Amino acid sequence: MSNLEIEVRRLEQADAPQSYCCMTEVPTPWVDALCQCRDWVAQNLHQHVEGYHARVDGNTIGHLYYAPSERALFPYQVEPGATVIYCEWVQRKYQGQGVAHRLFGTFATDQKNQGCKGILIECTEQEGMTACRHYLPRGFKPLQESSHKKLLYLALSQPSIQFQPLTSTIVPHRRIPVEILVLSGYLCPVDVSTQVQLLEIVREFGNQVVLRQERLTPATLKQFGAASGIFINGRQKLIGAHTEQAIRQAIVEEMQ
Protein backbone atom coordinates (compact mmCIF):
# COMPACT_ATOMS: atom_id res chain seq x y z
CA MET A 1 0.00 0.00 0.00
CA SER A 2 1.41 3.38 -1.00
CA ASN A 3 1.82 6.14 1.60
CA LEU A 4 1.92 8.85 -1.07
CA GLU A 5 -0.30 11.88 -0.47
CA ILE A 6 -1.65 12.25 -4.01
CA GLU A 7 -3.56 15.32 -5.14
CA VAL A 8 -5.49 15.14 -8.41
CA ARG A 9 -6.62 18.49 -9.84
CA ARG A 10 -8.26 19.75 -12.99
CA LEU A 11 -5.89 21.38 -15.45
CA GLU A 12 -6.15 25.18 -15.34
CA GLN A 13 -4.21 27.92 -17.11
CA ALA A 14 -1.73 28.29 -14.24
CA ASP A 15 -0.85 24.58 -14.55
CA ALA A 16 0.20 24.75 -18.22
CA PRO A 17 3.91 25.36 -17.37
CA GLN A 18 3.92 21.98 -15.58
CA SER A 19 2.34 20.08 -18.47
CA TYR A 20 4.02 16.93 -19.83
CA CYS A 21 5.55 15.58 -16.64
CA CYS A 22 6.80 12.71 -18.83
CA MET A 23 9.52 15.09 -20.01
CA THR A 24 10.68 16.08 -16.53
CA GLU A 25 11.66 12.63 -15.30
CA VAL A 26 15.21 13.11 -16.59
CA PRO A 27 16.96 16.02 -18.31
CA THR A 28 15.48 16.12 -21.81
CA PRO A 29 17.35 17.14 -24.97
CA TRP A 30 13.99 18.38 -26.31
CA VAL A 31 13.64 21.61 -24.34
CA ASP A 32 12.44 23.57 -27.38
CA ALA A 33 9.85 20.91 -28.16
CA LEU A 34 8.65 20.84 -24.55
CA CYS A 35 8.19 24.63 -24.53
CA GLN A 36 6.16 24.48 -27.75
CA CYS A 37 3.93 21.76 -26.31
CA ARG A 38 3.28 23.67 -23.11
CA ASP A 39 2.44 26.77 -25.13
CA TRP A 40 -0.05 24.68 -27.14
CA VAL A 41 -1.77 23.54 -23.94
CA ALA A 42 -2.01 27.13 -22.68
CA GLN A 43 -3.44 28.33 -26.00
CA ASN A 44 -5.94 25.48 -26.47
CA LEU A 45 -7.08 24.77 -22.90
CA HIS A 46 -10.88 24.48 -22.60
CA GLN A 47 -11.11 24.34 -26.39
CA HIS A 48 -9.23 21.36 -27.83
CA VAL A 49 -7.69 20.03 -24.62
CA GLU A 50 -8.70 19.45 -21.01
CA GLY A 51 -6.82 17.55 -18.38
CA TYR A 52 -5.96 16.42 -14.89
CA HIS A 53 -2.62 16.55 -13.09
CA ALA A 54 -1.57 14.23 -10.28
CA ARG A 55 0.66 16.00 -7.79
CA VAL A 56 2.88 14.92 -4.93
CA ASP A 57 4.48 17.55 -2.68
CA GLY A 58 3.41 20.25 -5.14
CA ASN A 59 5.11 18.58 -8.12
CA THR A 60 3.22 17.20 -11.14
CA ILE A 61 4.05 13.50 -11.43
CA GLY A 62 1.18 12.31 -13.64
CA HIS A 63 -1.15 13.68 -16.29
CA LEU A 64 -4.24 12.77 -18.28
CA TYR A 65 -5.15 14.95 -21.27
CA TYR A 66 -8.45 14.65 -23.15
CA ALA A 67 -11.16 16.55 -25.03
CA PRO A 68 -14.91 16.24 -25.57
CA SER A 69 -15.57 14.26 -28.76
CA GLU A 70 -17.09 17.28 -30.53
CA ARG A 71 -13.87 19.29 -29.97
CA ALA A 72 -11.19 16.59 -30.06
CA LEU A 73 -8.41 16.72 -32.66
CA PHE A 74 -8.78 13.04 -33.41
CA PRO A 75 -8.80 11.08 -36.70
CA TYR A 76 -12.38 9.89 -36.18
CA GLN A 77 -15.79 11.48 -36.40
CA VAL A 78 -17.53 10.61 -33.14
CA GLU A 79 -21.02 11.50 -31.97
CA PRO A 80 -21.20 14.37 -29.44
CA GLY A 81 -21.32 13.66 -25.74
CA ALA A 82 -18.35 11.29 -25.51
CA THR A 83 -14.79 11.97 -24.38
CA VAL A 84 -11.48 11.24 -26.15
CA ILE A 85 -8.28 10.59 -24.18
CA TYR A 86 -5.17 11.99 -25.84
CA CYS A 87 -2.48 10.92 -23.40
CA GLU A 88 -2.05 9.48 -19.92
CA TRP A 89 1.25 9.14 -18.09
CA VAL A 90 2.68 8.61 -14.61
CA GLN A 91 6.38 9.13 -14.00
CA ARG A 92 8.18 5.82 -13.77
CA LYS A 93 9.36 6.17 -10.18
CA TYR A 94 5.73 6.61 -9.10
CA GLN A 95 4.27 3.78 -11.15
CA GLY A 96 2.79 0.89 -9.18
CA GLN A 97 1.88 3.14 -6.25
CA GLY A 98 -1.74 3.87 -7.06
CA VAL A 99 -1.21 7.14 -8.89
CA ALA A 100 -2.66 5.95 -12.21
CA HIS A 101 -5.63 4.39 -10.42
CA ARG A 102 -6.36 7.66 -8.60
CA LEU A 103 -5.78 9.81 -11.70
CA PHE A 104 -7.96 7.78 -14.07
CA GLY A 105 -10.54 7.09 -11.37
CA THR A 106 -11.04 10.79 -10.67
CA PHE A 107 -11.33 11.54 -14.39
CA ALA A 108 -13.76 8.68 -15.11
CA THR A 109 -15.96 9.49 -12.09
CA ASP A 110 -16.20 13.14 -13.14
CA GLN A 111 -17.09 12.12 -16.69
CA LYS A 112 -19.81 9.79 -15.45
CA ASN A 113 -21.24 12.46 -13.14
CA GLN A 114 -21.34 14.89 -16.08
CA GLY A 115 -23.44 12.45 -18.14
CA CYS A 116 -20.66 11.46 -20.56
CA LYS A 117 -21.72 8.66 -22.92
CA GLY A 118 -18.33 6.96 -22.83
CA ILE A 119 -14.58 7.31 -23.18
CA LEU A 120 -12.54 6.56 -26.31
CA ILE A 121 -8.82 6.16 -26.82
CA GLU A 122 -6.66 5.19 -29.79
CA CYS A 123 -3.89 2.91 -28.58
CA THR A 124 -1.10 0.68 -29.81
CA GLU A 125 1.47 -1.80 -28.56
CA GLN A 126 4.39 0.05 -30.13
CA GLU A 127 7.09 0.87 -27.61
CA GLY A 128 6.82 4.29 -25.98
CA MET A 129 3.29 4.98 -27.19
CA THR A 130 -0.17 4.72 -25.57
CA ALA A 131 -0.44 1.02 -24.76
CA CYS A 132 -3.69 -0.93 -25.13
CA ARG A 133 -2.69 -3.26 -22.29
CA HIS A 134 -3.31 -0.47 -19.77
CA TYR A 135 -6.92 0.08 -20.86
CA LEU A 136 -8.38 -3.36 -21.53
CA PRO A 137 -8.26 -4.32 -17.79
CA ARG A 138 -10.21 -1.12 -17.03
CA GLY A 139 -13.15 -2.35 -19.09
CA PHE A 140 -12.39 -0.73 -22.44
CA LYS A 141 -13.61 -2.74 -25.45
CA PRO A 142 -12.13 -2.69 -28.99
CA LEU A 143 -14.21 -0.89 -31.60
CA GLN A 144 -11.81 -1.05 -34.54
CA GLU A 145 -8.32 -2.21 -35.39
CA SER A 146 -6.19 -0.98 -38.28
CA SER A 147 -2.47 -1.40 -38.86
CA HIS A 148 -0.86 -1.25 -35.39
CA LYS A 149 -3.61 0.88 -33.83
CA LYS A 150 -6.84 0.06 -32.00
CA LEU A 151 -9.77 2.26 -31.07
CA LEU A 152 -11.14 1.35 -27.63
CA TYR A 153 -14.35 2.41 -25.86
CA LEU A 154 -15.38 2.43 -22.21
CA ALA A 155 -19.16 2.71 -21.90
CA LEU A 156 -20.46 5.04 -19.19
CA SER A 157 -24.07 6.15 -19.83
CA GLN A 158 -24.34 4.63 -23.32
CA PRO A 159 -23.35 1.04 -24.19
CA SER A 160 -22.23 1.83 -27.75
CA ILE A 161 -21.01 4.85 -29.69
CA GLN A 162 -21.28 5.97 -33.28
CA PHE A 163 -17.94 6.67 -34.94
CA GLN A 164 -16.41 6.87 -38.38
CA PRO A 165 -12.67 6.92 -39.19
CA LEU A 166 -11.64 9.89 -41.26
CA THR A 167 -10.39 9.08 -44.73
CA SER A 168 -6.87 10.32 -45.38
CA THR A 169 -6.56 12.57 -48.42
CA ILE A 170 -2.75 12.44 -48.32
CA VAL A 171 -1.73 10.43 -51.38
CA PRO A 172 1.72 8.76 -51.63
CA HIS A 173 3.70 9.80 -54.70
CA ARG A 174 7.23 10.03 -56.12
CA ARG A 175 8.52 13.39 -57.25
CA ILE A 176 11.33 15.88 -57.02
CA PRO A 177 11.38 18.24 -55.22
CA VAL A 178 10.43 16.03 -52.30
CA GLU A 179 7.28 17.33 -50.61
CA ILE A 180 7.13 17.24 -46.81
CA LEU A 181 3.89 17.92 -44.98
CA VAL A 182 4.04 18.47 -41.21
CA LEU A 183 0.73 18.26 -39.33
CA SER A 184 1.01 19.64 -35.81
CA GLY A 185 -2.07 19.03 -33.72
CA TYR A 186 -2.18 17.73 -30.17
CA LEU A 187 1.48 18.23 -29.40
CA CYS A 188 3.53 15.37 -27.92
CA PRO A 189 7.09 16.46 -27.06
CA VAL A 190 8.50 13.25 -28.55
CA ASP A 191 6.87 13.95 -31.93
CA VAL A 192 7.64 17.66 -31.82
CA SER A 193 11.33 17.00 -31.16
CA THR A 194 11.52 15.37 -34.60
CA GLN A 195 9.63 18.26 -36.18
CA VAL A 196 12.08 20.77 -34.67
CA GLN A 197 15.07 18.85 -36.05
CA LEU A 198 13.37 18.43 -39.41
CA LEU A 199 13.02 22.19 -39.90
CA GLU A 200 16.79 22.56 -39.57
CA ILE A 201 17.71 19.55 -41.73
CA VAL A 202 15.41 20.55 -44.62
CA ARG A 203 17.59 23.64 -45.22
CA GLU A 204 20.49 21.37 -46.16
CA PHE A 205 18.59 20.10 -49.22
CA GLY A 206 17.90 23.53 -50.72
CA ASN A 207 15.30 23.52 -53.50
CA GLN A 208 15.23 19.71 -53.61
CA VAL A 209 12.75 19.72 -50.73
CA VAL A 210 9.53 21.70 -50.28
CA LEU A 211 8.22 21.95 -46.73
CA ARG A 212 4.61 22.68 -45.78
CA GLN A 213 3.53 23.12 -42.16
CA GLU A 214 -0.08 22.97 -41.04
CA ARG A 215 -1.31 23.62 -37.51
CA LEU A 216 -4.14 21.20 -36.94
CA THR A 217 -7.62 22.63 -36.54
CA PRO A 218 -11.07 21.09 -37.07
CA ALA A 219 -10.91 22.40 -40.65
CA THR A 220 -7.49 20.92 -41.48
CA LEU A 221 -8.40 17.69 -39.69
CA LYS A 222 -11.29 17.32 -42.10
CA GLN A 223 -9.12 18.46 -45.04
CA PHE A 224 -6.32 15.92 -44.53
CA GLY A 225 -8.09 13.14 -42.65
CA ALA A 226 -5.12 12.82 -40.28
CA ALA A 227 -4.54 14.24 -36.80
CA SER A 228 -0.74 14.52 -36.80
CA GLY A 229 2.39 13.32 -38.51
CA ILE A 230 5.26 14.01 -40.88
CA PHE A 231 4.44 12.95 -44.42
CA ILE A 232 7.29 12.72 -46.93
CA ASN A 233 5.90 12.48 -50.47
CA GLY A 234 2.65 11.44 -48.84
CA ARG A 235 4.17 8.67 -46.70
CA GLN A 236 4.19 8.91 -42.90
CA LYS A 237 7.76 7.81 -42.35
CA LEU A 238 8.76 9.60 -39.13
CA ILE A 239 6.80 8.69 -36.00
CA GLY A 240 8.14 9.58 -32.57
CA ALA A 241 11.66 10.75 -31.80
CA HIS A 242 14.34 10.21 -34.45
CA THR A 243 18.03 10.97 -34.84
CA GLU A 244 19.25 13.53 -37.36
CA GLN A 245 20.68 10.64 -39.40
CA ALA A 246 17.31 8.87 -39.53
CA ILE A 247 15.54 12.07 -40.63
CA ARG A 248 18.07 12.69 -43.42
CA GLN A 249 17.81 9.08 -44.54
CA ALA A 250 14.01 9.28 -44.75
CA ILE A 251 14.33 12.29 -47.09
CA VAL A 252 17.12 10.78 -49.18
CA GLU A 253 15.09 7.58 -49.74
CA GLU A 254 12.43 9.65 -51.49
CA MET A 255 15.02 11.12 -53.84
CA GLN A 256 16.19 7.77 -55.14
Q: Which domains does the chain have, with CATH numbers?
A: 7-165 (3.40.630.30), 178-253 (3.40.30.10)
What pLDDT, on a 0 to 100 scale, did the predictor assign at position 2?
A: 60
Q: How far apart are CA 68 and CA 64, in angstroms?
A: 13
What pLDDT, on a 0 to 100 scale, did the predictor assign at position 227?
A: 85
Task: Please give the mean pLDDT across all residues of the chain.
Answer: 90
pLDDT > 90: percent of the chain: 62
DSSP per position, 176-233: SSEEEEEEE-S--HHHHHHHHHHHHHHGGGGGGEEEEEEE--HHHHHHHS-SSEEEET
Which residues are bridge partners to 76 per DSSP?
A: 165
Per-residue burial over 157-195, b = 16 or more CB atoms within 10 Å of its CB, e = otherwise: eeeebebeebeeebeeeeeeebbbbbbbbbbbbbbbbbb
Which residues are bridge partners to 49 per DSSP?
A: 45
Contact 100/88 with Cβ under 8 angstroms? yes
pTM of the shown model: 0.90
252 dihedral zone (left: phi>0; alpha: psi -120 to 50; beta):
alpha
Residue 126 has pLDDT above 70, yes or no: no
pLDDT tens-digit readout, 184-225: 866 688 888 888 889 889 999 999 999 998 888 889 999 999
pLDDT tens-digit readout, 92-122: 999 999 999 999 999 999 999 999 999 999 9
Q: How far apart are CA 195 and CA 136, in angstroms?
A: 32
pLDDT tens-digit readout, 142-166: 998 877 789 999 999 999 999 999 9
pLDDT tens-digit readout, 22-40: 888 877 777 888 888 899 9
In what order do the strands lie in the sheet containing 7-10? 7-10, 50-56, 59-68, 83-90, 118-124, 149-155, 141-146
Contact 185/47 with Cβ under 8 angstroms? no
What pLDDT, on a 0 to 100 scale, did the predictor assign at position 1?
A: 43
